[in-house]
Structure 1
Amino acid sequence: MPEPALDVLRGLGISPGRAAGRLYKMAGPPLLPAPAPVADTGAETALAVRGLESAAGELTARAEGVADPAAREILEAQAMIAADPLLRESVEQRVAAGSDAAHAIDAACAEHREALLAAGGYFAERASDLDDIKNRAVAAVLGLPMPGLPSPGHPFVLAADDLAPADTVNLDPGVVLALVTEKGGPTSHTAILARALGIPAVVACPGALSIAEGTWSSVDGGTGEVHAGIDERTAAEVERSARADRDRLATATGPGRTADGHPVKLLLNIGSVADIPAGSPGEGVGLFRSEFLFLDRRTAPTHQEQTGAYEAVLRAFPEATVVVRTLDAGTDKPLPFLGLPEELNPALGVRGLRVSRRSPEVLDAQLDALAEAARVSGTSPWVMAPMVTTPGEAADFARRARARGLADVGVMVEVPAAALHAHRLLDEVDFLSIGTNDLSQYTFASDRQHGELADLLDPWQPALLQLIAQCAEAGRAAGKPVGVCGEAAADPLLATVLVGLGVTSLSMSARSVPAVRDSLARHTLDQCREHARLALAAADPDGARTAVREAAAA
């Protein structure tokens, strides 16, 4: 019997782990029929509006059924877009001009999608969501089933052009063994949610949809390799090995440290106390995203609401590090109560700490509530500000926090200017936390959701690692901690590089902690430093990844 033809595809590995099984593809969007004449404009308008309402209602229902706050936030934002009065008005205008309901929705969503892409920043990140909204609304209008997951009756590898958030959050890790998409990037919604679910995943993988349905395939979410055309015996071996890896990781406990005992704090990224699992694998919280308190509100949360939310997290880790990030929002992540005007380039506008230039009372209220939560819980939280660019901004934030008795004050490094002057920032604050997602975006002038530029956002980019190294060196010189709380921290192999660069803590989702802990425990500090040297010397991310992987294997 001839050996099956083996194709090796390569993309970006964004959720570590290995899996193998038969590959099946995501159901495509509903096909638009030929335009139909409209006899009753009123009835056709009502049909189109019901289609939008159906999409919004389904997305809202899915959001309510999701436990993970990051996933819930994404779905709620998508539902808000579907219910946007401007989108509805655009659809109504097209029906009035003679379009049938399905084509009116299609054209209106296309127009709004282009507008979001042109706006850039957070708005551009939401553009792909409109495709999902359009498909759901058109399917409702035409009486067709919603686009969705295949159901072969057994566990499988899922291939798709890209996944909408509503589809990703419903993936069952017991059924979907691994995920491969042709589009997407390392900081896309697909990547974030796949990591949260613990599903091995590869994105930006050209040719994934050319694999025939039912083909036995293996996926390595660490290397980014997809092997299509393996035999069933090989698939079983991959699954046995992956299961052994999972069992071994499940039994590993304790603080993060290298093989020779060098300590590295392994912390959690959370949005509320609900994100802290029972028997948490983390040693504290490296990123408490306080903006989850503010979502979809016309008024700011009260002092009592904020104090209660902060206190709950502080009491969960009474003797551990808990880093609270002040509100990371602005014109690129609009919150209604802020009342900020639209900007031509919101990703480069008023966001993060910059919001306090216009609304200082919002930051002051947060700091007051955190100080109160610290007092009543008897704990000492750390607090940091996002989107800090200059030493002057760092000094002002530190002054305001310390005036309220908050002793451990830091800033996030998300723009190259902050990394280049890390030593000056550390003259003003007590610690740095590197947000690799935004630091990549601003370093490479590459939108985080632009699929064609996903390679520029690869966290293995040597230029990005050089900026991290500069921050870590500043921390060493000042005797102050420097952590990484971006998605890069969740990569087990890259974690060795970050530690070798001098990073003192890594913050990630709870599911990512065991693999990172295990990776560090298998390498000495000197080996981590050698991995860092190899990665910095590489010409590109593929070269960096390959060099470190070969060194780790040796």
Structure 2
Amino acid sequence: MSTLRGVGVSPGRAAGPVLLVRDRLPEPESGPQPVDPASEAARIRPAAEAVGQRLRDRTAATGGEAAALLEVTAAMATDPALLSAAERAVTERLLPAPRAVFEAAAEFADALAAAGGYLAERVRDVQDVCDRLVAELTGTAAPGAPEPAEPSVLLARDLAPADTADLDPELVLALVTEEGGPTGHTAILARSLGIPAVVAARGVLPGAAGARVDGAAGTVELLDDRVAPESAARTRTRWRGAGATADGQPVKLLANVGSATDAATATEAGAEGSGLFRTEFCFLDAATEPTESAQHEAYAAVLRPFAGKPVVVRTLDAGADKPLPFLDTAAEANPALGVRGLRIAFERPGVLDRQLAAIVSAAAETGAEISVMAPMVATPAEAAWFAERARAAGAGRVGIMVETPAAALCAEELLAEVDFASIGTNDLAQYTCAADRMTGALAALNDPWQPALLRLIDSLGRAAGAHGKPVGVCGEAAADPLLAGVLAGLGVTSLSMTSAGLAAVGSSLAEHSLPDWRRAAGAAAAAPDPAGARERANAALAS
């Protein structure tokens, strides 16, 4: 028996026999050259349509986040740019169709990886699509999660979102991966399905006969013998659609959205509003700046389901991981530390002014109660500059994202300029620990339970309390049921997450009073490491 530690991303304990997930397909051969290149190239699009249709068929049995991810993967499988690049590789370079698809996908994946951040998270999707297309073209089985014959613990190098989306929680007792991180889709979907999960568990492959998994502690015991299936999820009180602690202290539970589909899913899931509307998602493919009218229509489609509810609209968080073609930003050696977010607006204030005007008019049309906030703010002067322009455009409530240690450390001065703050824990964690959140080997440093991160949030919560201003969290940390309560104990007044996490977080919050959560928060922040933070928080709640 051996015990490994990774990053726990979905709470719960489970044990059972191990089932290994098929790894990626080997690279297709570069030869022989096709006898008829035109006919060989013509095989690619029908294969893509077949793969895309199978993915779309699976959405019928899912919903919410899982269905959206399957639809995205299906769209990637039939992406005209990808298929055209593969066809050219056949006709111009005389590659066999499987190899042509492999090389075209590799170019796309390399470009996304170089962008970093959110776009880098799409690399696994591209690899998954590539494997499915190659399998279709070669008549072989695609990699991925097999259907368990009995309740089992799945072990994998990594899981593509499409493989995780429709897993059966009755048959999949737990998930463990060697790679991945706490902000990836495996973590998000595992929480939504209620499956205990641990990522970045180095050495978990080639596996064992059985395994015991603790998704909260992040531990995996590999057993030499098979073990009878068992699971022990935490018993939760029923969530009634409003966020509050056991003693009635309100903590708004909101959803992160980027599209009209996301907004509809959020309202169906009971979200009290949206704490993060990612406006750049409406225009990722725009070659020219959308007109104010086009922006109005795009924003209104997302705001409409939230009529009468609060929505925090983030202005364009472009650059670095979300390059927008119409901005034509210059290449940077280190884009994550470059001209991104509000820094682009300093160079092009007209882009910001037109966006603010469209947001305000869309809110007036739809009845959503909007606030606007700027991303990547580092100084009080930056906060003041944004607040002045936003208020001039007619935005009644103005805030900032806290994603940099500088903003957290200068919270008193920044909050004097704006009405609220929202913590982006994904970026704040990676900047605090100087660890790219897309690098699997550094996943532990991006664990949102890192005491350094909790201490920064604590200082921000204290500053917000002193100013009488709210502070929210809109990173993936908000979707961890135990950590959500700890964040409330640190002074956070709202939590925004993927819609699938709302019920579990709402139920967990209601299990303890605010004083109990404050005690747990203090214990966690004083811990030496993430594992200790979790343990101390649980111990404080149990005492």
The interval holding the TM-score normalised by the smaller chain is 0.7 to 0.9
CA contact (8 A) 2:420 2:470 kept: yes
Identify the match of residue 235 of structure 1 among 215, 229, 235. 229
Residue 410 of structure 1 and its aligned partner are, at CA, apart by 0.5
Whether the 8 Å CA contact 2:41–2:91 is kept in 1: the answer is no
Instruction: State whether residues 48 and 78 of structure 2, in contact with CA within 8 Å, keep that contact through their aligned partners in structure 1.
Output: no
1:224 aligns to 2:218 (yes or no): yes
Which one is further off, 105-114 or 434-443?
105-114
Q: Secondary structure at the match of 2:205?
A: helix
Deviations 1:279-316 (A, max 9, x none): 54332221122233223333455545543454455454
Q: Which amino acid aligns with 1:167?
A: D
The question of 1:266 aligning with 2:253 is answered yes
Indicate which of 444, 449, 452 corresponds to 1:463.
452
Give the Cα separation in 1 of the matches to 2:330 and 2:144: 37
User: Partners of 1:65 and 1:501 in 2: how far apart?
Assistant: 41
Return the letter of the residue paired with 1:259: A
Q: CA deviation at 1:441?
A: 1.4
2:242 to 252, 255, 265: 255
Deviation per residue, 1:129-166 (Å, 9 max, x gap): 45434433443443322223212345543221001233
CA distance in 1, matches of 2:419, 2:391: 11
Q: How does 1:160-309 map to 2 (within 5 A)?
A: 160-173=156-169, 175-212=171-208, 215=210, 217-229=211-223, 235-236=229-230, 238=231, 241-242=232-233, 245=235, 248-249=236-237, 251-275=238-262, 276-277=265-266, 280-301=269-290, 303-309=292-298
Select between 148-157 and 452-461 the one with higher mean Cα deviation: 148-157
Matched with 1:75 is: 73
Displacement of 1:347 = 1.6
Letter in 2 for 1:211: G
The range that moved more, 197-206 or 382-391, is 197-206
Distance in 1 (alpha carbons) for counterparts of 2:371 and 2:360:
10
Q: CA–CA distance in 2 between the matches of 1:73 and 1:473?
A: 42
C-alpha distance in 2 between matches for 1:10 and 1:416: 28
* 8 Å CA contact 1:82, 1:133 repeated in 2: no
Asked if structure 2 preserves the Cα contact closer than 8 Å seen for 1:331 and 1:340, the reply is no
Are 2:524 and 2:534, in contact at CA under 8 Å, matched by a contact in 1? yes
- Out of 19, 23, 29, the position equivalent to 1:24 is 19
| Residue in structure 1 matched with residue 339 of structure 2 by the alignment | 350
Letter in 1 for 2:7: L
1:452 to 418, 425, 441: 441
1:325–1:552 distance in 2 versus 1, CA, 3 Å: same
Give the drift of 1:434.
0.1
Q: Give the counterpart letter for 1:340 in structure 2.
A: T
Residue 489 of structure 2 is aligned to residue 489 of structure 1: no
1:132 maps to a residue whose letter is D
Q: Which residue of 2 aligns with 1:15?
A: 10
Q: Conserved in 2, the CA contact under 8 Å of 1:47 and 1:141? A: no
Q: Which runs of 5+ in 2 are unaligned?
A: none
Tell me the secondary structure at the aligned position of residue 208 of structure 1: coil
| Alignment partners' CA distance in 1, 2:87 and 2:270 | 49
**CA 1:147/1:425 → structure 2, altered by over 3 Å: closer, same or farther?**
same
Change (3 A) 1:300 1:493: same
SS at match of 1:449: coil
Q: Deviations over 1:423-443 (max 9, x none)?
A: 221121100000000111111
CA contact under 8 A between 2:286 and 2:325: conserved in structure 1? yes
Instruction: Report the Cα distance in structure 2 between the residues aligned to 1:553 and 1:436, rounded to whole angstroms.
Output: 27
TM-score, length basis structure 2? 0.85
Alpha-carbon shift at residue 413 of structure 1 (Å): 0.7
Give the unaligned 5+ runs of structure 1: 1-5
3-state secondary structure, aligned to 1:209: coil
Q: What is the DSSP-based 3-state SS (H/G/I as helix, E as strand, rest coil) of the residue aligned with 2:274?
A: strand
Deviations 1:141-198 (A, max 9, x none): 4332222321234554322100123323343445544322111110123223433444
Match of 1:3 in 2: none
TM-score computed with the length of structure 1 as normaliser: 0.84
Identity rate, percent = 53
Paired with 2:42 and 2:445, the residues of 1 have a C-alpha distance of 40
Rate the CA distance shift 1:161–1:233 in 2: closer, same or farther, 3 A: closer
Question: What SS does structure 2 have at the residue aligned with 1:432?
Answer: strand
Secondary structure of the 1:210 match is: coil
Amino acid at match of 2:220: V
Q: Any runs of at least 4 consecutive aligned residues in structure 1 with deviations exceeding 6 A, and if so which?
A: 230-234
Per the TM alignment, residue 18 of structure 1 is displaced from its structure 2 partner at its CA by: 4.3
8 A Cα contact 1:48 1:102, kept in partner: no
Asked whether the 8 Å contact 1:74–1:165 carries over to 2, the reply is: no
Three-state SS of the structure 2 residue aligned to 1:344 is coil
Q: What letter corresponds to residue 387 of structure 1 in structure 2?
A: M
Cα separation, 2, equivalents of 1:169 and 1:341: 36
Residues 106-117 of structure 1 aligned to structure 2 (within 5 Å):
117=113
Letter in 1 for 2:479: A
RMSD between aligned residues? 3.6
d(CA) in 1 for partners of 2:350 and 2:78? 27
Q: Distance in 1 between matches of 2:328 and 2:492?
A: 38
Q: 2:71 and 2:384 mapped to 1: Cα distance? A: 32
Per-residue displacement from partner, 1:306-339 (whole Å, max 9, x unpaired)? 4345445545444443212222222421233333
